Amino acid sequence: MRLLSYLNDKEFDRLALLEGNLAFDLNELDENLPDNMSDFLWGGNEAMEQAREYEKKIKSGKIAKSQGKPVESLIVLAPVPFPSSMRDAYAFRKHVEAARRNRGLEMIPEFDQFPVFYYTNHNS
C-alpha cells in the first residue's frame, strides 16, 4: 500500500491511497477514516486495516477510478507533513565500519544489538 499526503484546494494536508497515477482521498471514501497522515498514524492498526480494505476495493474495481485524482494535478507534500517528533538513525553499518577502521578501531558488536538514533529538530 502506498500512501500520499497532498494539499487540497483549501490548503489543508490530506491523506490519499496511491494506486497507479491516481490518488484516492481516504476521508472522501469513508468519512470515518482520518483525513491526514498524522491522525492516520495515531489510528494505529485499526486505521491501517481500514485503509487496506479500501486498497482492495480500488484494485478490484469496486471503487471507480473516477473517484481518484490524477497525482500530477496535486501538490504533493512530504509523507508526514507535520511530524510531532523526528529521529534520525546513527548510520549504515558499512559507514560505521569504515569510519572505525579508518581510525584503527574494531567494529563494536553493540551496533547490531540495538538501534542507535538521535532526536533531531523536526521544525527545520
Q: How much is the pTM?
A: 0.73
Q: If you count them, how many residues does the chain have?
A: 124
Find out whether 43 and 3 touch, Cβ atoms under 8 Å: no
Query: Residue 44 CA to chain centroid, in angstroms?
Result: 13
37-70 residues labelled b (16+ CB within 10 A) or e (exposed): bbebbeeeeebeebbeebbeebeeeebeeeebbe
Query: What pLDDT score was predicted for residue 10?
Result: 84
Q: Is the pLDDT of residue 85 over 80?
A: yes
For residue 81, which of 33, 35, 24, 28 has the smallest C-alpha distance? 35
Q: Which pLDDT value is given to residue 16?
A: 97
What pLDDT is stored for residue 91 in this prediction?
A: 76
Place of cell 563494536: 108
Q: In degrees, to the nearest 5, what angle opens at C-alpha 119 toward C-alphas 118 and 122?
A: 145
CA distances from 101 to 106, 113, 116 (A): 6, 20, 19
Residues 26-52 pLDDT 10s: 999 999 999 999 999 999 999 999 999
pLDDT at 63: 96
